[in-house]
Amino acid sequence: MAKKLTRETARAIYQRLAEANPAPDTELHYKSVYTLLVAVVLSAQATDEGVNKATKTLFPVANTPQKMVALGETKLGGYIKTIGLWRNKAKNVIALSEKLIAEHGGKVPNDRAALEALPGVGRKTANVVMNVAFGAPTIAVDTHIFRIGNRTGLAPGKTPLDVERGLEKITPPAFLHGAHHWLILHGRYICKARKPECWRCVIADLCAFKDKTPAPNADGLAQPSVKKTSAKKKTARKLSAAPKLRAASKPKSKSKSKKKVSV
């Protein structure tokens, strides 16, 4: 876990991310607050690209809670079966649509607690809807933002909630609304899980991550990092490589065999 950064460094990080992407937004396609909610629910453990392919044909047919309930769980499954965990998601989308009709007049509530009370909606989903649809300064911590918070030192934490609270504290108010999008896009395309592309990162010199990835060579392979070896280790290697002297072996004494005397 990287050392936590200062507020000054955090401000500089957001400033650079904002300059690189002045108007960040979600990559999920939606047409209303309700379709945004459905898209975010479907995006759990799935890619935005995969969700967008499914909702491209779904939303023209069912873009309100009433139409979604009328469509039904079985037919909904046919639209979203290319998405992971689609059976459970279909059940949740129908259930949350029914609850929106019964308790909220068919409208998506502008309240995190009310959103989290809907089937299939957790804190992360509620934060995304609050931020994108209602402009709330919430930060939804997914796998990318959790990695960024720990790797860069912005908000080290053992749980998503720890990272979320850490980011809320260290992020300057002016950057709170866009923080979620800047960080998730940075984690998705630059600060990747296995091989972060540090050589083209705009915040590389501010990041606390030590094992930065070098730029690839002409063949597209990463340049091997050169590690400095201390004088003590060099001396030890030389000694281990030197031929070892063997002690002279003592000549074996010949034991006199006793002849057996037959009686």
> What is the C-alpha to C-alpha distance for residues 78 and 72, in angstroms, rounded to an integer?
10
> What is the C-alpha to C-alpha distance for residues 61 and 92, in angstroms, rounded to an integer?
18
The residue from 48, 53, 142, 252 that is catalytic is 142
> Could you tell me what percentage of the chain is helix, strand and coil, using 3-state DSSP and rounding each to the nearest 5?
50, 0, 45
Residue 192 neighbours by CB distance under 10 Å: 14
Please say if 252 is a catalytic residue. Answer: no
The residue from 56, 67, 111, 124 that is catalytic is 124
> What is the C-alpha to C-alpha distance for residues 246 and 263, in angstroms, rounded to an integer?
50
Please say if 162 is a catalytic residue. Answer: no
Interaxial angle between packed helices 143-152 and 160-170, expressed in degrees from 0 to 180 and rounded to the nearest 10: 60
Residue 223 neighbours by CB distance under 10 Å: 11
Which of these, 229, 176, 187, lies nearest to 209 by C-alpha position?
A: 187
Kindly state the DSSP code that residue 173 receives in the 8-state scheme: G
Do residues 132 and 26 touch, judged by C-beta distance below 8 A? yes
- Please report, for residues 36, 155, 156, 160, 183, the alpha-carbon distance to residue 163 in angstroms, rounded to integers and kept in the order given: 24, 5, 6, 5, 12
| Active site (catalytic) residues | 124, 142
